[in-house]
Chain A
Amino acid sequence: MSYQGKKNIPRITSDRLIIKGGKIVNDDQSFYADIYIEDGIIKQIGENLIVPGGVKTIDAYGHLVIPGGIDVNTCLHMPYLGMTPADGFYHGTKAALAGGTTMIIDHVLPEPGTSLLVAYDQWRELADSKSCCDYSLHVDITRWHESLTEELEALIKDKGVNSFLVFMAYKDKYQCTDSQMYEIFGIIRELGAIAQVHAENGDIIEEEQKRLLESGITGPEGHVLSRPEEVETEAVYRAITIAKQANCPLYVTKVMSKGAADVIAQAKRKGMVVYGEPISASLGTDGSHYWSKNWAKAAAFVTSPPLSQDTTTPDYLNSLLSCGDLQVTGSAHCTFSTAQKAVGKDNFTLIPEGTNGIEERMSIIWDRSVTTGKMDENEFVAVTSTNAAKIFNLYPRKGRIAVGSDADLVIWNPKEMKIISAKTHNLAIEYNIFEGMECLGAPVVVMSQGKIILEDGKLHVTEGSGRFIPRKTFPDFVYKRIKARNRMADIRGVPRGLYDGPVHDVTTATKAVASTPSCRGSSCPGKAQMAPLRNLHQSGFTLSGNQMDDHIPRRTTQRIVAPPGGRSNITSLS
């Protein structure tokens, strides 16, 4: 297929595989068929396939065969005060594969004010050498200035990046003003990329943080107290408003609260092209743990926007995910060890932010949504893989089991029970925010690029085997509607004759105002001018309509002055 060939890695081409007897689950339908895989690509689907001899056969009887998960939000190399997360690209992608996720899209976070391209190259280099599964990159715009336009163009046209994150929080660090967001959204729309937004009102947060620290609250509960749900909801609402003005598709990362999810759902109902991404943490747990007496445990939950204190939130978000109001799931996996988190032991604002979830994502959604009957297996595939592939223009190479698609497959056992624990997870951190949670549904076999990665509970990963998947602009799933609206949205002025009535003369007045910019003159600069101006206001000129003022008695006490210059040019006004 034409998708292939960007970075062919010869060592996997010899793999030939047939998966027999499984039920293939795509986002639109499920059916029983065998799958033949060669060169990392699905070559045939059907029954009684004719395949070369000596091909390895995988038995999938009684299981589901689903497209590998796509985790649209990871931060495996997010720098913070010179630290990087404990799970780098190697551990992170290994854990992803163990959980049934065969592709990640990681966030490139440049230092504010530095080159996006340099940061991109740095991430590429790291990920190419470490990543165990295919990956792609979002680039975060940490400080906007005009000159970045060129870099955005270069990233989009030459580097295969088609999604950019802007921050509405982190004042004086990453935060964008509304004007900047409008500008960025405009450019992004022109270039056909996706605008992602970290939606929290940074101004309010900063004030709240000051207030809390002053009142002596320094523990992790301060994190959630300073970032209440409303602050997230407000920013989501604002981001949608700005995107609407710029006619730019919007993607809200990390939907953590009911309020934020509701705003997205309402906006969709009003016709906005907007996508919302809840993450493993918000779908699987809540923010009550910030009040844990154990500092290390409470700190483990610190992420932004924070988990909601409302314990009914996970259930609600799962429901919205099921009905299509929210579309994709990520993990925002960004794991700092407890020692790293402890940097903020005396000040919650210094705790590095991020939770785990890359490994648990698929199982948590299956457990919370599918086993409870909220969604079916096809919807499960949609929210864990297909929709992400469509939005980020990876479809149908990823996100679908079809001839020609990448052989990223998961054989899923809906009956397998797993207990999530830091003791058994594949991460480098010593805690797990889902500790002790029992999840029904787990992968039994995971296949990436046609190679078996997980089988019989054992992982076989190769560091650096993951390929960078470049993405094209203008994903149809997102931009078809935007393009149509662009054509419709032409604003037209009203053709009118020239206004030729009298015009109040401001030239002298503005000069006078400009010459007294100091606050001192506020006593009455306008007063002195009032007298001559007054007459002009009440002149008896005719509008282009009919002004029949002349015979109105109440005006008799006022001086009537003939309009200076009458209908002639305004410049003759004295």
Chain B
Amino acid sequence: MSVTGYQGKKSIPRITSDRLLIKGGRIINDDQSFYADIYLEDGLIKQIGENLIVPGGVKTIEANGRMVLPGGIDVNTYLQKPYHGTTTVDDFYQGTMAALAGGTTMIIDHVVPEPGGSLLAAFEKWHEAADKKTCCDYSLHVDITQWHEGVKEELEILVQDKGITSFQVYMAYTEGFQMTDSQLYEAFTFLKGLGAVVQVHAENGDLIAQEQNKILSMGITGPEGHVLSRPEELESEAVFRAITIGNRINCPVYITKVMSKSAADIIAQARKKGAVAFGEPVTASLGTDGTHYWSKNWSKAAAFVTSPPLSPDPTTPDHLNSLLACGDLQVTGTAHCAYSTAQKAIGKDNFTLIPEGTNGIEERMSIVWDKAVAVGKMDENQFVAVTSTNAAKIFNLYPRKGRIAVGSDADIVIWDPDKIKIISAKTQNSALEYNIFEGMECRGGPLVVVSQGKIVFEDGKLHVLQGMGRFIPRKPFPEYVYQRIKTRNKRMEMLGVSRGMYDGPVYDVPATPKYVTPSPSAKSSPTKNQSPPIRNLHQSNFSLSGEPPSSALPWEASRQLEGYNNTSKHYKHTAIIGAQIDDNIPRRSGHRIVNPPGGRSNITSLG
């Protein structure tokens, strides 16, 4: 298999000795389910089948007919996001530990450079921190926090040498990250050229800033101000705009954090019209809603602060799960970005200062199972697709990740669909003192989690090593995303119309722009003085592209070709517009008729 080619970037010798046999499980991929044993060695899946011949003394896990899934991929985490000099309490260690406990064996974290700072430097910083701390494989997105020419070079290096092929741009945060539409257009064009996946944080930042001012001036300072200042419409508007820009350039658009029904609907509609667009709902939007912003308990309300905010509409999670099940939305992330209550309290007197982010890295798989599979919206194969396979395809990790196949990484989860767990801050693996899903009962959870061929979670206990996660570099132009784009590129060449030169009279403007500039104040009526000479020219009896007879022909021809829709009517072909037969029309008699200056000759001779 070609898969093996992916390996070897950073092989860690300490795990190579692990040999493992998973017996009697039902393997679930996104396309089919079947019973087979799996033999793992050197962190890879070596054999799949029945009655496998394996070396003696291999550790065996009895799956007893339980489901064996590809490990989850969490496509959106912030485990080191800086905010006013502080960073999230769940760092790469704490965060990936929680991920593994929930059945997620790979994360893609966001690098957030200082606006104006070097993307490469920020990447190195994240890379270094993650290499030391993560317990599961990881990759990185880089957020483009400011667009300028110098960024382009860094982007090229990141894509070509560093294995980073996805970049997030922001349509919100006027104080820092936000890009204008022109910048988005440029950025999309450039990133498409590199074969990267463009991720968009979609919210209308201009309007948010206005709303925030308004709401603060009304004296509302609590977390409810956060959602009041970021209504659902501002999210869906930005999604609409992002997709429009993407369509113009024929660039794929990936919307991170789909939080509202209307935003999801826009993505679904755009896909129906053929746009290459992807939508990523997160644990929070799939599992809970925004009614908690009105909680009397400040710290509880603040815990839900994230952007775009959770929708106050309590039917949102159900709707998003439905769209996820039918394929209108494709992947699930968490946007896990955990700030402690003390950190959140930075904004206790001003909701705009509350650091944004919710938990979800540990709960993601269980919540999707409970809300979508357990209720019959999606089947186990679709579950694998939205929690793992689609992400691997979009971000070019497939089939190394996202599939149980010979040659793939041994990131495997044995899943118990009947396991019931009550989510609580008391039992979670995150360092947070709260959990936005507190008290939620979830059906479905991991029994055993295997990462890089090692058992990291078993019998409710984690066995992780800080720093054992590897950085997985990714290649540009993922087939799943770019195949269609490439075909369309070929087909979308725009062609102009080849015409003869226009050789009729041309209104003489060069003088006027010069004339306008020195008198920018529209005092009395500068245009008035000019109108008499202009007027005559309009009504001159010049002939368009030649003498009436010759000009008539192209008109005739073109009109016959184009035709009007109304088939029931006939054209009077005698009515030739091209021929300027003004002379005999009495209504024009009052005007001076001026001969066309220069006649059929070159326009430059126009007086």
Q: Are B499 and A519 in contact (CB under 8 A)?
A: no
Asked if A491 CB lies within 8 Å of chain B CBs, one says: yes
Q: What is the CA–CA distance of A216 and B495 in the complex, to the nearest angstrom? A: 9
Task: Please report which residues of chain A, range 508-538, place their CB below 8 angstroms from some CB of chain B when the two chains form the complex.
Answer: 508-510, 512-513, 517-519, 521-527, 529-530, 533, 536-538
Asked if B554 CB lies within 8 Å of chain A CBs, one says: yes
Q: Are B186 and A544 in contact (CB under 8 A)?
A: no
Choose one: B114, B186, B189, B342; the contact of A504 (CB below 8 Å).
B342
Q: What is the CA–CA distance of A496 and B296 in the complex, to the nearest angstrom? A: 5
Known contacts A426-B587, A529-B85; A293 and B558 CB within 8 A of each other? yes
1/0 per position for A547-562, CB-CB distance to B under 8 A? 1110010110010000
1/0 per position for A233-272, CB-CB distance to B under 8 A? 1100110011011000000000000000000000000000
Asked if A493 CB lies within 8 Å of chain B CBs, one says: yes
Q: Are B346 and A504 in contact (CB under 8 A)?
A: yes
Choose one: B297, B542, B555, B565; the contact of A544 (CB below 8 Å).
B297
**B237 cross-chain contacts in A, Cβ below 8 A:** 237-238, 241
**A342 cross-chain contacts in B, Cβ below 8 A:** 502, 504-507, 603
Q: Are A83 and B509 in contact (CB under 8 A)?
A: yes
Q: Are A436 and B572 in contact (CB under 8 A)?
A: yes
Choose one: B118, B248, B496, B522; the contact of A204 (CB below 8 Å).
B248
Q: Are A504 and B299 in contact (CB under 8 A)?
A: no
**B537 cross-chain contacts in A, Cβ below 8 A:** 337, 339
Choose one: B207, B499, B581; the contact of A178 (CB below 8 Å).
B207
Q: What is the CA–CA distance of A225 and B502 in the complex, to the nearest angstrom? A: 20
Q: What is the CA–CA distance of A525 and B84 in the complex, to the nearest angstrom? A: 11
Known contacts A118-B523, A231-B244, A245-B231; A207 and B185 CB within 8 A of each other? yes
The distance from the CB of A227 to the nearest CB of chain B, in whole angstroms, is: 11
**B340 cross-chain contacts in A, Cβ below 8 A:** 504, 537-538
**A548 cross-chain contacts in B, Cβ below 8 A:** 426
Interface segment out of the listed B50-58, B161-169, B216-224, B316-324 = B216-224
Q: Are A421 and B575 in contact (CB under 8 A)?
A: yes
Nearest A residue (CB) for B209: A179
Q: What is the CA–CA distance of A84 and B577 in the complex, to the nearest angstrom? A: 23
Asked if A291 CB lies within 8 Å of chain B CBs, one says: yes
Q: What is the CA–CA distance of A289 and B559 in the complex, to the nearest angstrom? A: 9
**B248 cross-chain contacts in A, Cβ below 8 A:** 204, 207-208, 228, 230-231
The distance from the CB of B462 to the nearest CB of chain A, in whole angstroms, is: 9
Q: What is the CA–CA distance of A295 and B565 in the complex, to the nearest angstrom? A: 22
Q: Are B497 and A543 in contact (CB under 8 A)?
A: no
Q: What is the CA–CA distance of A337 and B113 in the complex, to the nearest angstrom? A: 54
Asked if A119 CB lies within 8 Å of chain B CBs, one says: yes
Q: Are A285 and B555 in contact (CB under 8 A)?
A: no
Q: Are B85 and A519 in contact (CB under 8 A)?
A: no
Known contacts A203-B180, A337-B538, A491-B220; A222 and B228 CB within 8 A of each other? no
Q: Are A122 and B497 in contact (CB under 8 A)?
A: no
Which residues of chain B have a CB within 8 Å of any CB of chain A?
82, 84-87, 89, 113-114, 116-118, 121-122, 125, 180-182, 184-186, 189, 204, 206-207, 209-211, 215, 218-222, 224-225, 228, 231, 233-234, 236-237, 240-241, 244-245, 247-248, 294-301, 340-343, 345-346, 348, 425-426, 429, 431, 433-434, 494-497, 499-500, 502, 504-507, 509, 511-513, 515-516, 520-525, 527-528, 530-531, 534-535, 537-540, 542, 544-545, 554-555, 557-559, 562, 564-566, 569-572, 575, 577-578, 580-582, 585, 587, 603
17 further contact pairs, Cβ within 8 A, besides A238-B241, A524-B125: A81-B512, A122-B522, A208-B248, A233-B244, A337-B538, A342-B504, A345-B603, A422-B577, A428-B538, A504-B342, A512-B85, A543-B299, A545-B297, A545-B299, A548-B426, A554-B429, A555-B431
Nearest 9 pairs of A and B residues by beta carbon: A509-B85, A82-B512, A203-B181, A522-B117, A178-B206, A493-B220, A217-B496, A86-B538, A234-B244
Q: Provide a sorted-by-A list of 7 A–B residue pairs whose CB atoms are within 8 angstroms.
A: A82-B509, A111-B522, A292-B497, A293-B558, A295-B502, A491-B220, A552-B426
